[in-house]
């Protein structure tokens, strides 16, 4: 049975399932779409936190495959928004920058499908607002600085891709980019700008990337720590 839960800054609520016959800690996805940890009955929760910290890349892959991410009060969204959960008689939400306020009735759990759908709806709206304000101007600056040309910018919230570039020069950017550090946003923008000259990942392509982003190898490793899934 579930005895309690812990809060993780990246993954949100992680439910703890303590079993007398459990011999080790195992982390998986629950049917509700959040991470759950099965552990021996007397194991302190701090050991779950240690395993989460050492297994983040693997856990991100589990979440990406499920297509679900659980949100909770206090989590930061993008560059300027935060989730706030307040009690109410009916489920509703408002985006009042910098807050995403979710009004939740007592009979609904935070990780329930209804509440998570309401939160995700406002998160998409918040990220769209931030992305439209920041990304086109930043892309324009990087293109001018590095002698690239593109036709137009589109926005998406694809589950697996940070961005793409069509053969016609249209660059599509995931609104979840606003959850990345600024230097990694630049890495993705430069990556897609380079595709306006090389529609592949050949040596010549990576040479173009290295000219505009000399630290691209580190950025390429770092971005694997994040997921575009909203």
Residues of the chain below pLDDT 70 = 1-3, 31-33, 67-68
List the CATH code of the domain at 133-225: 3.30.2010.10
Whether 220 contacts 187, CB under 8 Å: yes
- Omega of the bond prior to 98 within 30 degrees of 0, cis? yes
The predicted structure's pLDDT at residue 160: 77
User: Where do the structural domains in the chain lie, given as residue ranges?
Assistant: 2-66, 76-127, 133-225
Q: What one-character-per-residue DSSP string does 13-77 give?
A: EEEEEEETT--S-EEEE-TTSSEEEEEETT--THHHHHHHHH-HHHHHHHHHHHT-----TT-EE
Whether 91 contacts 106, CB under 8 Å: no
Residue range 176-203, pLDDT digits in tens: 999 999 999 999 999 999 999 999 999 9
């Amino acid at each position: 049975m579930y005895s309690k839960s812990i809060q993780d800054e990246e993954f949100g609520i992680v439910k703890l399932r303590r079993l007398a016959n459990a011999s080790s800690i195992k982390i998986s996805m629950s049917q509700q779409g959040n991470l759950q940890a099965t552990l021996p009955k007397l194991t302190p929760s701090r050991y779950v936190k240690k395993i989460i910290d050492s297994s983040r890349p693997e856990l991100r892959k589990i979440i990406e495959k499920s297509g679900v991410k659980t949100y909770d009060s206090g989590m930061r969204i993008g560059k300027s928004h935060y989730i706030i959960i307040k009690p109410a008689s009916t489920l509703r939400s408002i985006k009042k920058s910098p807050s995403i306020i979710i009004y939740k009735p007592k009979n609904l759990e935070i990780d329930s499908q209804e509440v998570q759908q309401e939160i995700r709806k406002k998160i998409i709206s918040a990220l769209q607002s931030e992305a439209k304000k920041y990304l086109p101007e930043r892309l324009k600056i990087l293109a001018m600085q590095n002698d690239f040309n593109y036709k137009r910018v589109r926005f998406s919230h694809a589950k697996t891709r940070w961005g793409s570039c069509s053969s016609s020069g249209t660059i599509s950017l995931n609104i979840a980019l606003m959850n990345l550090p600024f230097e990694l946003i630049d890495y993705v923008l430069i990556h897609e700008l380079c595709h306006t000259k090389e529609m592949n990942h050949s040596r010549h392509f990576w040479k173009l990337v290295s000219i505009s982003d000399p630290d691209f190898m580190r950025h390429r490793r770092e971005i694997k720590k994040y997921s575009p899934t909203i």
